[in-house]
Amino acid sequence: MTKILHRTIKAELPRVVSAQGVFIEDANGRSYLDGSGGAAVSCLGHGNGEVLDAMRAQMDRVAYAHTSFFTTDVAEDLAERLVGLAPDGLDFVYLVSGGSEAVEAALKMARQYFVEIGQPQRRHIIARRQSYHGNTIGALATGGNVWRRAQFQPILPETYHVSPCYTYRDQRPDEDAAAYGQRLADELDAKIRALGADQVIAFVAEPVVGATMGAVPAVPGYFRRIREVCDRHGVLLILDEVMCGMGRTGSIFACAAEGVQPDLVTIAKGLGGGYQPIGAVLLSDAVYRAFEEGSGLFQHGHTYVGHPVAAAAASKVVEILSRPGVMEHVALMGDKLQESLESALAHSSFVGDIRGRGLFRGIEMVADRASKEPFEPKLRLHARIKREAMERGLLCYPMGGTIDGVRGDHVLLAPPYVISPEEVDQLVERLADAIDAATR
Ligand code: PMP
């Protein structure tokens, strides 16, 4: 009998005993190809010796020191590396222990920024529907996932949501990318005006939407238009790269492909590569200066901020990700994954859309291809695909049911970047079998 409160109380989970590269093995000797990197975490694969050595060396030196007393070489080194790789204008780093903590910190930073610059009336956060930004109170309230929020609603701060950029379902046939992006930017503009242009703190969005939509990138130009709207009203732009960042989409920062300068960017997951829990907020010079010239104190903090072993692991992960050829391999394997999925799933009338960027791909399932009608939530197609995939030795990340009133099932793929072309073929073959079995 387990003494652990597992997320799904009655689920019988296999016990994992070892992992190497893109494979994980359970206690029954079954091997699984890690097609989702957990939840888009294991970017370098399992058992990376260089990261383990960096962690061991740091543990031998000093495993923990509270940041109210000390900084460390490894944390300074990590910040330096991240700023060096980030889009221009993101010059400072705040370290935390995961994605939700990063989002919470970014929200509080944004709010305190306006207090520091003498606009304390600003109090509203706007995000997008069908989004997920974490499970802590502030991050949960920010996410547009009504189902996750439902029972906690009475204790959540009020937030506002606009439409996500969702080409497959929402771009009108008579609308090109520019017109669609403009329509969404106009919607945000109208929402800000309705709330009071000088009352809004920030707009929060994922550059490529992961968990809730299945690797959905925005149309070209969307984020530039969103940036213009934010600038018009002095609203901060927070990009949540917790899932899509750290090279997942083929560039270290996903927003680099959008040509915008966000004010704050959150990262986590791939930053620690699964070796340590870690997250970070990158902040603009302007936000940093407001704190520096204002109260001189960011009124926030956690016990494990800047944890030395986590920083050592992340610093090594980031160093490896920035080596020549790594992002090129992500782009190459990502293109191969897309092409292989398209050909292996072409026969299935239940596959509506295959999309994504780099090694971040999503498959949207539909009961009918022509009408795009989704499966009934009670069929729990996503859960069936997950089970069928595991039986075939594949880990993928299906989501579904009803998210923010929107029905649908999709499968997210986010394998480690060390995946080989042969392993991509293996992943696709197992997934196509699992989808066929689940929809039979
Ligand atoms: N933001 C996004 C975009 C995420 O995908 C997630 C996790 N799935 C989070 C925030 C929360 O991260 P964590 O689970 O590390 O708290």
Q: Domain range holding 389?
A: 16-47+324-439
Q: Is the distance from the beta carbon of residue 132 to the nearest atom of ligand 1 less than 6 Å?
A: yes
Please count the structural domains in the chain: 2
Residues 391 and 30: their CA atoms lie apart, in Å, by: 9
If asked whether residues 300 and 360 sit together in one domain, one would say: no
Ligand 1 atom nearest to 206, measured from its CA? 3
Q: Is the distance from the beta carbon of residue 189 to the nearest atom of ligand 1 less than 6 Å?
A: no
> For ligand 1, atom 9, which residue shows the shortest CA distance?
134
Q: Is the distance from the beta carbon of residue 133 to the nearest atom of ligand 1 less than 6 Å?
A: yes
Q: Is the distance from the beta carbon of residue 98 to the nearest atom of ligand 1 less than 6 Å?
A: yes
If asked whether residues 120 and 230 sit together in one domain, one would say: yes
If asked whether residues 328 and 394 sit together in one domain, one would say: yes
* 8 domain residue, yes or no: no
Q: Is the distance from the beta carbon of residue 274 to the nearest atom of ligand 1 less than 6 Å?
A: no
> For ligand 1, atom 15, which residue shows the shortest CA distance?
99
Domain boundary among 321, 345, 379: 321
pLDDT < 70: residue spans in the chain? 403-405
* 357 domain residue, yes or no: yes
Residue 145, pLDDT score: 82
At 32, which helix (H) or strand (E)?
A: strand 31-34
Residue 7, pLDDT score: 84
Residues 304 and 282: their CA atoms lie apart, in Å, by: 18
Domain boundary among 275, 302, 321: 321
> For ligand 1, atom 1, which residue shows the shortest CA distance?
133
Residue 159, pLDDT score: 96
If asked whether residues 191 and 307 sit together in one domain, one would say: yes
If asked whether residues 284 and 314 sit together in one domain, one would say: yes
Please report, for the domain that includes residue 339, its CATH number. Answer: 3.90.1150.10
Q: Is the distance from the beta carbon of residue 216 to the nearest atom of ligand 1 less than 6 Å?
A: no
Domain boundary among 298, 321, 344: 321
Residues 295 and 371: their CA atoms lie apart, in Å, by: 56
Please report, for the domain that includes residue 250, its CATH number. Answer: 3.40.640.10
At 320, which helix (H) or strand (E)?
A: helix 308-321
Determine the distance separating the centroid of ligand 1 and the alpha carbon of 215, expressed in angstroms: 14
If asked whether residues 82 and 134 sit together in one domain, one would say: yes
Q: Is the distance from the beta carbon of residue 326 to the nearest atom of ligand 1 less than 6 Å?
A: no
If asked whether residues 387 and 432 sit together in one domain, one would say: yes
The model's pTM is 0.98
| DSSP string across 41-99 | T-SS-B--HHHHHHHHHHHHH-S---TTT---HHHHHHHHHHHHHSPTTEEEEEEESSH
If asked whether residues 368 and 296 sit together in one domain, one would say: no
If asked whether residues 26 and 140 sit together in one domain, one would say: no
Q: Is the distance from the beta carbon of residue 284 to the nearest atom of ligand 1 less than 6 Å?
A: no
* 165 domain residue, yes or no: yes
If asked whether residues 295 and 147 sit together in one domain, one would say: yes
373-385: per-residue pLDDT in tens? 999 989 999 999 9
If asked whether residues 171 and 270 sit together in one domain, one would say: yes
Q: Is the distance from the beta carbon of residue 137 to the nearest atom of ligand 1 less than 6 Å?
A: no
57, amino acid identity = A
